[in-house]
């Protein structure tokens, strides 16, 4: 099996592979065009949805990629591999699978974690009628995250301040301040938005339609950028009452940000909320698989550089190209051993999800 061959070098290539795999096997695909933006090469941007199994199935497994844009190199590779190996040929009765390719196609194409409005989708699934949560810790670090220059004195001063903050309060506190999500600075990091994004609204429509008959829903969202190289951490997300079920399905190494056992900080407005609200008649067991790439501080630095680039820099410059490479390396390890690791773990957990959703009561 040519596992590294499942993975693509660009969003456009990944999308073509996904569509071709579906076409070859007569799997119907819905294409949702994002009219708000274009890709890095001017291409159209789509969230593509493939369904395998009966429409009336009461058990549904949803596997999604590219919630965080450039993390889609990994997730799309796994989805293409599942199609290539015909992993869902012998689904149990009354069970269907939904593959959602590129929830955030803009970020995938431009190798950004955010969408076309600088929004982190995994902070965007809030009820905005209630106002937005505050994150006072973020205010303290925002200015350092977005210095006026990237190679000059402002950056050096900001770096020193961050270094001091980490020495004083610890890396975990810094990570939580930066990554917890904020709804104040639209030019900042981990910005959750002022309202529901295109991806949010589109995804809700997709789930409402496809989970209409579902009583049990398993959701796996594929991510990269946290944890040890190639390791796939199983992060439980959502209503605490589902955690024992997730542990029963996937094993004792399921982690939870709320319990402090995850590489992820506690975040609000995550995507599982939109899934739950769009499938109110189904029990939901939602996880993120978080595959490790490089150390967390280097990942945060890449995100900081990328944010600076789009707010204050020039993407087409030599510096811009270097930052884009830094982003790619932070969220995608283009190495055969890494691809083998993420694929093997992905298949293991997807098989557990099918077995779990099948026996759910």
| Residues found near Zn ion in the complex (CB under 5 A) | 68, 71, 223
CB closer to Zn ion out of 73 and 138: 73
Q: How far is the CB of 225 from Zn ion (least distance, A)?
A: 6
Q: How far is the CB of 345 from Zn ion (least distance, A)?
A: 16
Classify residue 191 by its DSSP letter.
B
Q: How far is the CB of 291 from Zn ion (least distance, A)?
A: 9
Q: How far is the CB of 88 from Zn ion (least distance, A)?
A: 24
Classify residue 40 by its DSSP letter.
T
Long-range contacts of 306-313 (CB under 8 A, 24+ apart): 306/112, 306/113, 307/114, 307/118, 307/145, 307/146, 307/187, 307/188, 307/189, 308/146, 308/147, 308/150, 309/150, 310/112, 310/118, 311/146, 311/187, 312/146, 312/148, 312/149, 312/150, 313/150
CB closer to Zn ion out of 71 and 116: 71
Residue owning tokens 């200015």: 143
CB closer to Zn ion out of 53 and 66: 66
| Distance (Å, whole) CA 292 – CA 230 | 5
Closest CA to 74 of 66, 62, 63: 66
User: What is the length of the chain?
Assistant: 361
The set of residues, in sequence order, having a beta carbon less than 8 Å from that of 148 and lying 6+ positions away, is 154, 312
Q: How far is the CB of 306 from Zn ion (least distance, A)?
A: 14
Closest CA to 145 of 267, 317, 309: 309
| Distance (Å, whole) CA 256 – CA 64 | 20
Helix or strand or coil: residue 266? Answer: coil
CB closer to Zn ion out of 8 and 122: 122
Q: How far is the CB of 110 from Zn ion (least distance, A)?
A: 15
Q: How far is the CB of 331 from Zn ion (least distance, A)?
A: 8
Per-residue buried b or exposed e for 161-199, using 16+ beta carbons within 10 Å of the residue's own CB: ebeebeeeeeeeebbbbbbbbbbebeebbbbbbeebbbb
CB closer to Zn ion out of 222 and 323: 222
CB closer to Zn ion out of 48 and 71: 71
Q: How far is the CB of 293 from Zn ion (least distance, A)?
A: 11
CB closer to Zn ion out of 158 and 286: 286
CB closer to Zn ion out of 77 and 147: 77
């Amino acid at each position: 099996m040519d596992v590294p061959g499942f993975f693509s070098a660009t969003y456009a290539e990944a999308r073509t592979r996904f569509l071709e795999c579906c076409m070859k096997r007569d799997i119907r695909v819905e294409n949702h065009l994002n009219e708000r933006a274009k890709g890095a090469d001017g291409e159209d941007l789509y969230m593509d949805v493939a369904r395998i199994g009966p429409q009336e199935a009461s058990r549904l497994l949803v596997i999604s990629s590219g919630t965080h844009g450039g993390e889609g190199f990994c997730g799309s590779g796994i989805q293409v591999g599942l199609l290539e190996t015909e992993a869902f040929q012998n689904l149990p009765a009354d069970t269907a699978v939904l593959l959602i390719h590129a929830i955030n196609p803009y970020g995938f194409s431009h190798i950004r974690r955010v969408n076309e409005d600088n929004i982190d989708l995994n902070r965007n699934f809030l009820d905005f009628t209630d106002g937005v949560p505050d994150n006072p810790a973020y205010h303290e670090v925002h200015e350092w995250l977005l210095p006026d220059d990237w190679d000059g004195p402002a950056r050096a001063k900001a770096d020193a301040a961050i270094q001091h903050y980490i020495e004083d309060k610890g890396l975990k506190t810094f990570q939580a301040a930066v990554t917890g999500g904020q709804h104040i600075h639209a030019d900042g990091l981990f910005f959750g938005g002022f309202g529901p994004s295109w991806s949010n609204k589109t995804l809700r429509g997709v789930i409402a339609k496809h989970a209409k008959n579902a009583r049990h829903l398993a959701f796996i969202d594929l991510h990269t950028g946290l944890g040890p190289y190639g390791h796939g951490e199983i992060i439980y997300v959502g209503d605490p009452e589902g955690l024992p079920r997730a542990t029963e399905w996937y094993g004792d190494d399921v982690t939870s940000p709320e319990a402090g056992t995850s590489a992820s900080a506690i975040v609000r407005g995550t995507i599982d909320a939109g899934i739950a609200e769009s499938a109110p008649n189904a029990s939901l067991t939602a996880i993120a698989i978080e595959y490790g790439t490089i150390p967390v501080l280097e990942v945060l630095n890449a995100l900081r550089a990328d944010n600076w680039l789009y707010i204050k820099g020039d993407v087409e410059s030599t510096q811009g190209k270097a930052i884009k490479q830094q982003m790619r390396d932070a969220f995608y390890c283009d190495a055969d051993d890494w691809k083998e690791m993420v694929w093997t773990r992905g298949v293991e957990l997807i098989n557990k999800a099918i077995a779990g959703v099948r026996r759910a009561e």
